[in-house]
Structure 1
Amino acid sequence: MEFMDVVRKRYACRKYADCQVSQADLDAILEAGRLAPTSTDQQEQHVYVIRSVDGLARVDELSECRYGAPTVLMVTYDTTDVYEYPGGEYDSGVEDASIALTHMMLAAADCGVGSCWVNVFDPDRVHEAFGLKERDRVVAMLDLGYPAADAEPSAKHLRRKDIADLVTYL
């Protein structure tokens, strides 16, 4: 599929078919995250694949936004291995993890796998519930699954601002 077709095809899927994502599709999605660019090639992102009944039940306790997805990717970054911007106030962790997550979301669309970026949760509670390492910071979760036959983008997704409202040339 052409890149712009993938971008246009992708939407936040909120209804999934009752079957697991194939290992081949999951591998392709994870590889896209691995290949994502990061600040000074730190590659500080880490992805936890949640597929077990227990793990998915924990996700459901922490967020109402799994929508029945059979797989959830929890994207974190290592706070001890980030690029610090000059001045020391900011680092690259959230942006690098977000870039990896975006790559995985687009790869999912390319594979015919639906996805939904989830940020409706308390990162500290997620961290504790999954017993993550102290240095892991949770950025987002990504629901994954094949879209149900009647899944469709929300009305909000179909409304897009004009490019002139989003871009300013300086």
Structure 2
Amino acid sequence: MHFTELAKKRCSVRSYADKPLDPQQLQAILEAGRLAPTGKNHQPQRLLVVQSPEGLAKMAKAMHNQNAYTAKAVILVCADTTDCWVRSFDAHCIHEIDASIVTTYMMLAATEQGVGSLWVERFDPEIIREEFALPDHYIPEALLCLGYANPEAVKSPERYDTERKPLEETVWFESFDA
């Protein structure tokens, strides 16, 4: 599958079949996260895979969503702030950027594997910290819900023809001057 096809096939899945994830597919998704580029190769990502009913209930609590979208697994993407590249010009630690790249790679790998995904930012970090005993230097950055999409949850790749702005509205060359 070409990259553009993969990108158009990916959609935010909010309803999953009652079927556990294949361990090999989950492993391929996690491997994609391991391969993701990070600032100066620091690899600050710390991933917690949650699949048990008890763990998924904790995720639902943190999302303020009764059923966590019926996901069969949720990957908690954290960043270790003690292992993060820091930009020398302004001392900006890029852990959030690194975690975003890792999450994106895993989301696209899930699509390639035929696994639906949903990147969730609407969660209470304090509940996550408490329920999963995060060390102080781990920042919860994202939740990646995973599972096999119910058919009605899948969106058409053609949606990008109307749901995305044309390049002319988002890309400039050399200067932002009109």
Taking structure 2 as the reference length, the TM-score comes to 0.90
Partner of 1:39: 39
What is the aligned-residue RMSD (CA, Å)?
1.5
TM (norm. structure 1) is 0.94
Paired with 1:130 and 1:153, the residues of 2 have a C-alpha distance of 33
Which residue of structure 2 lines up, in the alignment, with residue 114 of structure 1? 116
CA distance in 2, matches of 1:12, 1:139: 18
Structure 2, unmatched stretches of 5+, are: none
Residue-by-residue CA offset, 1:98-155 (whole Å, 9 max, x unaligned): 100000000000000000000001222211221111111000000000111222239x
Aligned residue number for residue 98 of structure 1: 100
- 1:24 maps to 24
- Write the distance in 1 (CA, Å) between the matches of 2:11 and 2:33: 18
For 1:51-90, what aligned pairs fall within 5 Å after superposition?
51-63=51-63, 64=65, 66-90=68-92
Q: Which runs of 4+ in 1 moved over 4 A?
A: none
SS at match of 2:86: coil
State the shift of 1:88 in Å. Answer: 4.1
Mark the runs of 5 or more structure 1 residues left unpaired by the alignment.
Answer: none
For 2:23 and 2:88, the matched residues in 1 are separated by: 41
Cα distance in 2 for residues equivalent to 1:26 and 1:2 = 21
C-alpha distance in structure 1 between counterparts of 2:87 and 2:118, whole Å: 30
- Give the whole-Å Cα distance in 2 for the aligned partners of 1:112 and 1:149: 12
Sequence identity (%): 40
Secondary structure of 2:151's match? Answer: coil
Cα distance in 2 for residues equivalent to 1:151 and 1:96: 29
- Give the number of aligned pairs: 168
